[in-house]
Amino acid sequence: MLRRTLALCLLAATPLLAEDVTTFRLDNGLEVVVIEDHRAPVVTQMVWYRTGAADEAPGRSGIAHFLEHLMFKGTDTLAPGEFSATVEAQGGNDNAFTSWDYTAYFQRVAADRLVLMMRLEADRMRNLQISEDDITTERAVIIEERKQRTDSSPGALLQEQMRAAQFLNHPYGIPIIGWLHEMETLDRQAALDHYTRFYAPNNAILVVAGDVTPEAVREMAQRHYGPLAPSDAITDRKRPAEPPQIAERRMTLTDQRVSEPYVLRSYLAPERDPGDQEKAAALTILAEILGGSGQTSLFAQALQFGANPVAVYSSAFYDGTGLDESTFGLLVVPMPGVDLATAEAAMDAVIADFVDAGPDAEDFARIKTQIRANQIYARDNVDGLARRYGEALAVGLTVQDVQDWPAVLDAVTPEQVQDAAREVLNRNRAVTGWLMPTEEAAQ
């Protein structure tokens, strides 16, 4: 008991150490974030475009991600494949990823090779060349990707179906990889349309993290990204909004490849907004309290421990970093012999109790301690910091919001967490999915 209290006091006295961050903007609108970490002679460059799967034209699902693949083909001055080959010849690694709200590209290299990475990344921001051959083979690759990551996984298929049901009107309900029947029709023109509309310096964020100075980055960025023309097609990111959700949705996916049945629930939940992150912070802590730890969370205690446990595994999860409304998720994997209805009822009983009683004071304090310590641990991973800033800026948050976030989390009260649970954990705004094995496989 004494040890615990002492540790809390110590951490509470530790100032929330911020990372070393500088920001500026070029005349053409490119936003630049520099995160300094001089421990190793390494640098990461990331370019984040403020466009993703939720910005696709209707009927062209998957085009944002398809374009991400095509960005590794040629430019006016670079042959297909030469981009990655050049990075690799420098000992570097490169890759890219697409979400609903953004598409990001990155390279990790020795710090003295940053200027070449900027030259390459700036080149493909405006000068991409795509041939019909590129389209044919790379479309086959993304279809294989869908088969591997989605169609071969009953759990991924259930999540895809649930998301489509969660969002009645917002394009967040469309899978990033795309619906197969639409992926098969994606062509060169669709890719170029998406590219010319969204890929421009005034729709991008450059994050440089590692052994660099802001002055050097400014000079290099000015030289390579500075001459790029901004796009006049960039508009406010207004997507179709959700209507009031007033009816619970439920579904069951049955598949012979399922071994462990489970119940998965997702609720529509608010996201972090600029200058207004309190509710998202409360939900972040709520997820931790309900299902963050396999030993101490409320779910673990109620469902996995005790004389008659109903679950093998349980968790709760929430990530509020998005442009529009997010989701709050719950998962319970029942013990063999416990049916899904029983597991779900037990899960709902934990939630009902929590909404009545609110957080336990000790649980709450312990989670706050960990949140403070995570600020220290996070500084060990400069790539992680680069992603944190890039993602936040790409979804409309500011550097100030990112830097305020730990303090906002720290200021959350038990009452705010209880209120957030009461408001968000409403089954009229939720989708509940059951994943089940087919009868034959269950025997």
Partner 1 sequence: MNMFKLAALLVAFALPARAEIDIQTVTSPGGITAWLVEEPGIPFTALEIRFRGGTALDMPGKRGAVNLMTAMIEEGTGDLDSVGFARARDSLAASFSFSSDQDSVGVSARFLTENRDEAVDLLRRALVEPRFDQDALDRVRGQVLAGLRQDAKNPGTLASRRLREMAYGDHPYASTGDGTEESVTALTRDDILDAHRASIALDRIYVSAAGDISAAELGPLLDTLLGALPATGAPLPDRAPMALTGGITVQDFPGPQSTVIFGHQGIKRDDPDFFAASILNEILGGGRFSARLMSEVRDRRGLTYGIGSYLLGYDQAELLMGQFSSANGTVGQAIDVIRDEWRKIATDGVTAAELENTKTYLTGNYPLRFDGNRPIAAMLVGMQMIGLAPDYPKTRNAKVEAVTMEDVARVAATLFREADLRFVVVGQPEGVGSTD
Catalytic residues: 68
In the region spanning residues 388 to 417, those forming contacts with partner 1, defined by CB under 8 A, are: none
Give CA–CA dist 212/38, Å, rounded: 7
Using CB under 8 A, pick the residue from 53, 63, 116, 347 that binds partner 1: 116
Using CB under 8 A, pick the residue from 12, 27, 57, 91 that binds partner 1: 91
Concatenate the DSSP letters of all residues of 104-149 into one string: EEEEEEEGGGHHHHHHHHHHHHH-B---HHHHHHHHHHHHHHHIII
The 3-state DSSP class for residue 346 equals helix
User: Which run of H or of E encompasses 96?
Assistant: strand 93-98
Beta bridge partners of 46: 106, 207
Stretch that binds partner 1, among 50-58, 133-141, 226-234, 414-422 (CB under 8 A): 133-141
Burial of 217 (0-12, 13-18, 19+ CB in 10 A): buried
Q: How far is the CB of 109 from partner 1 (least distance, A)?
A: 7
Q: How are beta strands 93-98 and 31-36 bridged, if at all?
A: unpaired
Cβ atoms of 173 and 16 closer than 8 Å:
no
Task: State yes or no: residue 3 binds partner 1 (CB under 8 A).
Answer: yes
Q: How far is the CB of 140 from partner 1 (least distance, A)?
A: 3
Task: State yes or no: residue 332 binds partner 1 (CB under 8 A).
Answer: no
Give CA–CA dist 98/284, Å, rounded: 23
Stretch that binds partner 1, among 28-36, 84-92, 227-235, 317-325 (CB under 8 A): 84-92
For residue 438, the 8-state DSSP code is -
Task: State yes or no: residue 333 binds partner 1 (CB under 8 A).
Answer: yes
Q: How far is the CB of 129 from partner 1 (least distance, A)?
A: 9
Task: State yes or no: residue 74 binds partner 1 (CB under 8 A).
Answer: yes
Q: How far is the CB of 153 from partner 1 (least distance, A)?
A: 9
Which x/- pattern, by CB under 8 A, does the window 95-114 give for partner 1?
A: -------------xxx-xx-
Stretch that binds partner 1, among 6-14, 183-191, 394-402, 422-430 (CB under 8 A): 6-14
Task: State yes or no: residue 20 binds partner 1 (CB under 8 A).
Answer: no
In the region spanning residues 363 to 382, those forming contacts with partner 1, defined by CB under 8 A, are: 366-367, 369-370, 372-374, 376-377, 379-382
Give CA–CA dist 368/360, Å, rounded: 12
**Residue among 313 and 317 whose Cβ is closer to partner 1:** 313
Using CB under 8 A, pick the residue from 25, 127, 152, 352 that binds partner 1: 152
**Residue among 154 and 320 whose Cβ is closer to partner 1:** 154
Q: How far is the CB of 390 from partner 1 (least distance, A)?
A: 18
Give the rounded distance of the alpha carbon of 44 from its chain centre. Answer: 19
Tokens matching residue 370: 């960990």
Task: State yes or no: residue 10 binds partner 1 (CB under 8 A).
Answer: yes
Task: State yes or no: residue 14 binds partner 1 (CB under 8 A).
Answer: yes
Using CB under 8 A, pick the residue from 226, 313, 339, 410 that binds partner 1: 313
Using CB under 8 A, pick the residue from 185, 196, 213, 256 that binds partner 1: 256
Task: State yes or no: residue 131 binds partner 1 (CB under 8 A).
Answer: no
Query: Residue 174: which of 315, 272, 60, 292 has the closest Cα?
Result: 60
Using CB under 8 A, pick the residue from 59, 81, 227, 240 that binds partner 1: 81
Q: How far is the CB of 235 from partner 1 (least distance, A)?
A: 34
Q: How far is the CB of 378 from partner 1 (least distance, A)?
A: 9
**C-alpha pair distances (Å), 317 with each of 101, 118, 287, 292:** 19, 36, 5, 8
Give CA–CA dist 434/164, Å, rounded: 15
Which x/- pattern, by CB under 8 A, does the window 163-202 give for partner 1?
A: ----------------------------------------
Burial of 241 (0-12, 13-18, 19+ CB in 10 A): exposed
State the residue for tokens 């920001």: 23
Q: How far is the CB of 172 from partner 1 (least distance, A)?
A: 24
Give CA–CA dist 10/6, Å, rounded: 6
Which x/- pattern, by CB under 8 A, does the window 270-309 give for partner 1?
A: -----------------------xxxx----x--xx---x
**Residue among 333 and 420 whose Cβ is closer to partner 1:** 333
Residues 199-214 as b or e (16 or more Cβ within 10 Å = b): bbbbbbbbbbbbbbeb
Query: Residue 21: which of 391, 405, 400, 406 has the closest Cα?
Result: 400
